[in-house]
Amino acid sequence: MSTKRSRFRPVFSCLSLLVLLAFTRPADPITVYLIGDSTISIKQVKVYPETGWGMPFANFFDESVTVDNRAMNGRSTRSFIEENRWQSVLTTLHEGDYVFIQFGHNDEVKTKKTYTTEEEFSTNLVRFITESRDKKAIPILITPVARRQFDDAGKIKESHEVYSGLVRAVASEYKTPLIDLDKESQALLQQFGVENSKLLFLQLAPGEHPNYPEGKDDNTHFNELGARKMAQLVLAAIKSQQLPLADRVVKPQSK
């Protein structure tokens, strides 16, 4: 009799596991909002191969996650608020959602109409944080991604020193998760070097692409490869900081 019981035990174990899996509650659906500027935003076909890093980022997560990319070309924290773009996010924000916040490119340039003073920039970041938390959503601050700028010795130059510092300071004061994309992207560009880093940006010779018949020399905006590399840096930070969102990253298919 004992032999028969041991023979059927694996069958019962498998059935028990299947029953448990059948009643395992699926993860609640959430939305990850991306707010920021042209380095993140979804691009129109007419400007390809320009690609915002938010585009490949949307493919990293399982079916429980919707990535809603609200980033827009040329926006600063101030113009994003003034145009009611933040309000449109806030009205649809729910408990458990995420808000990834990356500004600075357009805030810091004094000659642009989107210029935002240092004090106002910090105040706007705090507003994004507090109003997200009021909705029981999770804000994530991101420093502005680096531009491709090297000195004569081939060393990557700091392009957002002041405004990246402000993001770090707000994150520290308000105990907000921080993804230091400025620092990480600088390291990546340094690794690629002066010439090879061109492969990540919208760098096109005349006649190389029909959207840019005269060519393009852009050291701020990414091509498809560059956008994917930047998105991977953000994903790596999500995992290394063990944010709960990491549990919703697509799992590799077993072979």
The DSSP output letter for 115 is: -
User: Tokens 């940006």 sit at which residue?
Assistant: 201
Number of Cβ within a 10 Å radius of residue 65: 19
d(CA 219, CA 105): 13
Tokens, residue 13: 């174990």
- Pair 214, 206: CB distance under 8 Å: yes
- Pair 142, 136: CB distance under 8 Å: no
Q: Which residues have CB under 8 Å from 145's CB, separation 6+?
A: 39, 53, 102, 181, 182, 185, 230
Exposed, middle or buried by CB within 10 Å (0-12, 13-18, 19+), for 127?
Answer: middle
Q: What are the catalytic residues?
A: 38, 214, 221
Q: Which residues have CB under 8 Å from 39's CB, separation 6+?
A: 52, 53, 71, 102, 105, 144, 145, 220, 221, 222, 230
Residues 87, 124, 134: CA angle, nearest 5 degrees: 55
Q: Indicate the residue type of 38.
A: S
